[in-house]
Structure 1
Amino acid sequence: MIQAETTVAREIDLAAQAADGVLLAGTLTLPTGPGPHPAVLCLPGSGKLDRDSNAGKLRMDLGRPLAATLARHGIASLRYDRRGVGATPGDWHTVGFLDNRADAAAALQALRGHPEVRGRAVGVLGHSEGAVHAMWLAAHTHPAAAVLLAGYARSGEAAVQWQLGRLAETMPRPLSRVLRRVASKQLARVSATTTDAARMGGIRVNAKWWREQLAYDPRADLSRIQAPVFAITGRKDVQVDPADLDVIANLVPGARIRRVPDLTHLLRRTDGPGTVFGYRKLLRRSVEDDLLTGIAQWLAPRLS
């Protein structure tokens, strides 16, 4: 076990054991001072992401600043590498959407059972795909609170179709038509697969993940949530419809929703349209500090 000291937090290597015995390698960040502490499980978006929401050179760098902000407000946090990423073993291409959910539930159990964590004061926080898993966890595992960052509230297939529509709007009409036609064929092909991984256009894709994600609709689980919920989506998000916040508000009594002006799916603000073509430039900047601070300030009294 490795421990690192900073002025506001301690970091401890923590491996959560999944249902099949795989150890999900992660980092438990603890506030300074005596515990046990309230805590939050942090879940990343989709893709081959490590504990800091990074995938190779595509670096979102959400995990560490989020953990540091939570620690400054007296809240511990756990983040971990997905299967087949970083220090967690496995083949990422064969991991399904429901496998990610099951691993999240195992990580939540490990966090609740840690001696430096108050087991009854543990919340869940997810971004994008992670927010959808946080919805399920909030409905079925009764956390103390849930934060949903850019989480959709419709079927996975409808969410993907909305994304494609927004992308098509940024292209000339002939290219837009080609994109829609090709994307529809690819979605139909991946839905018809039966293997965990498949070759699509010569590229190995995690077909199981796609089938399960397209089929899942979080609305039934949202209606079961009893915990306090804070749902945030940027007005310039082109991957999740900001209007889904209204669905969340209607399904979760007392849920707080916030549409952040100029905020993109990457949790960075922009003066531009927020399209995916500007992502590389946006990622040169840090996640918005005021957003993270607002989340920590909302969580602190609900985990006390």
Structure 2
Amino acid sequence: MRNFVLTAAFVFAGLAMTAHAAETDVHVDSPIGPLAGSLVQPAQGPTKAAVVILPGSGPTDRNGDNPMGVKGGPYRQLANALAEQGIASVRVDKRGMFGSRHEGFNPNNTTIDAYADDTHAWAKYLATTTKQRCVWLLGHSEGVLVAEIAAQKPQGICGLILISGAGRKAADILIEQLKANPANAPFLPQVLPVIEDLRQGKRVDASKIPPPFLPLFKEDVQPYIINWFQKDPVALLKAYKGPVLVVQGDNDLQINMTDAHALAGSRPGVELKVIPGMNHVLRRPAEGQGANIASYGDTSMPLAPGLVDVIAGFIASARP
């Protein structure tokens, strides 16, 4: 594991304040250069706990937004709501992206394991800043897997809060999704061997990849995919002995209750909470797939009712 050095100073230019929370732009050092995040602390009263919020897959920023349609900052909303409960947090930009972008570094040239290294840097920073003995890791979507990997070295980690996370290996989920779409049928004889080679740790020449799937399996991202395919979320969670909360919405179009039950069943003591009506971006839209998809880009929609109370309640009851 790489060693990280905390930066000595905060960047106060980004300071923001609400009635319940004070937000500051902060950084930690990494092998590629400083990584950027936003620290939110309760504006009044003592800090009861601290949480590192780990983002979902692809170009998802520290606020939970991404250029593919998610807007409204669900992670920012979550951080502010937790501050109202006396819980500090830091939400982060992944290495190579957004505030953590550095010239000459390809953000595809990374791995899930590298994200876990970065998580430890953020956890150490947050514990020091908030004077907490340990901090909680809150992963959303892909961030669930990052949290599970980071927790294999549990020093300084209070426990895990896993929201909308996969309970199966990524290659298995990808194959299932491809087979479920009839439009993919003509390409499956070519695509499935590509997935199998990557599962086996083998790079695949672009000439063997059907053109519609080149963006998904492009050569510069294959090391990331190979590393990702190796991870078993259930086995990782089984190996971690600290407190774990699995949170799943029953209106999630991307992750379903099968995954939540797989994670919760990984070992005794893992707690599962289902948030009625919550979708993958932590909101409760109106019924119907159209409304669900539309909610991804709705900047005015609040977090799903009950989500923050479930998280804060778990932290209060399981706090070491």
1:47 lines up with 2:58 in the alignment? yes
Tell me the amino acid that sits aligned with residue 186 of structure 2: V
Q: CA deviation at 1:291?
A: 1.6
Give the one of 73, 81, 84 matched to 2:93.
Answer: 81
- Structure 2, unpaired ranges of 5+: 1-10
Tell me the amino acid that sits aligned with residue 146 of structure 2: H
- SS across alignment from 2:151: helix
Change in Cα spacing, 1:42 to 1:69, as seen in structure 2 (3 Å) is same
The answer to whether the 8 A contact 1:263-1:270 is kept is yes
- CA deviations over 1:256-276 (Å, ceiling 9, x no partner): 11233433222233455548x
TM-score by length of 1: 0.83
- SS across alignment from 2:239: coil
Q: CA deviation at 1:153?
A: 2.3
- SS across alignment from 1:91: coil
The answer to whether the 8 A contact 2:279-2:292 is kept is no
- CA deviations over 1:60-106 (Å, ceiling 9, x no partner): 52221010011000000011111222111232121222222221222
Would you say how many aligned residue pairs link Structure 1 and Structure 2? 291
1:302 lines up with 2:310 in the alignment? no
Tell me the amino acid that sits aligned with residue 69 of structure 1: A
Q: CA deviation at 1:225?
A: 2.1
- Structure 1, unpaired ranges of 5+: none
Name the structure with the higher strand share.
Answer: 1
Give the one of 32, 35, 38 matched to 1:27.
Answer: 38
Change in Cα spacing, 1:184 to 1:269, as seen in structure 2 (3 Å) is farther
How do 1:10-25 residues align onto structure 2 when only pairs under 5 Å count? 10-18=22-30, 20=31, 22-25=33-36
- SS across alignment from 1:39: strand
Identity of aligned residues (%): 25
Give the one of 136, 148, 157 matched to 2:171.
Answer: 157
1:38 lines up with 2:49 in the alignment? yes
Change in Cα spacing, 1:210 to 1:281, as seen in structure 2 (3 Å) is same
Q: CA deviation at 1:128?
A: 0.8
1:184 lines up with 2:195 in the alignment? no
Tell me the amino acid that sits aligned with residue 17 of structure 2: E
User: What's the counterpart of residue 306 of structure 2?
Assistant: 290
User: What's the counterpart of residue 236 of structure 1?
Assistant: 251
What is the alpha-carbon distance in structure 2 between the residues aligned to residue 28 and residue 254 of structure 1?
Answer: 30
How much is the aligned-residue C-alpha RMSD, in angstroms?
2.9
The answer to whether the 8 A contact 2:166-2:255 is kept is yes
Higher normalized contact order (CA 8 Å, seq sep 6+, divided by chain length): 1
Give the one of 133, 137, 152 matched to 1:120.
Answer: 133
1:103 lines up with 2:121 in the alignment? no
